[in-house]
Amino acid sequence: MTLKELLKKLKAFDCAALNGGEVSHYFVTKGAYGYEEIVEDVMFDPKRNRIVLICKDPEQCLWDSNTMVKYEERKEK
């Protein structure tokens, strides 16, 4: 995903109801354990030319990706 794509998707969730909420990164290990990391900061790595999320230590959690709201761009007719 490019920075432009990420910013577009984040902008779709920019509303008063979510402004005070934390941002998380979810991931699943090969052993199917789910984890959540709270994002604390964002940096740029010029060596790899990438945006990097700085997160708290991961905590195991259960989450259902099927219930999450996903941004999808509307197709023009």
What is the reported pLDDT for 54?
96
Residue 14: is its pLDDT beyond 80? yes
| Helix (H/G/I), strand (E/B), else coil: 4 | helix
pLDDT digits (tens, 9 = 90+) for 30-46: 888 999 999 999 999 99
Gap between the Cα atoms of 71 and 11, Å rounded: 10
What is the rounded distance in angstroms from the CA atom of residue 47 to the CA atom of residue 27? 25
Q: What is the reported pLDDT for 22?
A: 92
Cβ proximity of 40 and 56 under 8 Å: yes
Position 4 scores a pLDDT of 93
pLDDT for 55-73, tens place per residue? Answer: 999 999 988 878 888 888 8
* pLDDT tens readout for residues 17-30: 988 889 999 999 98
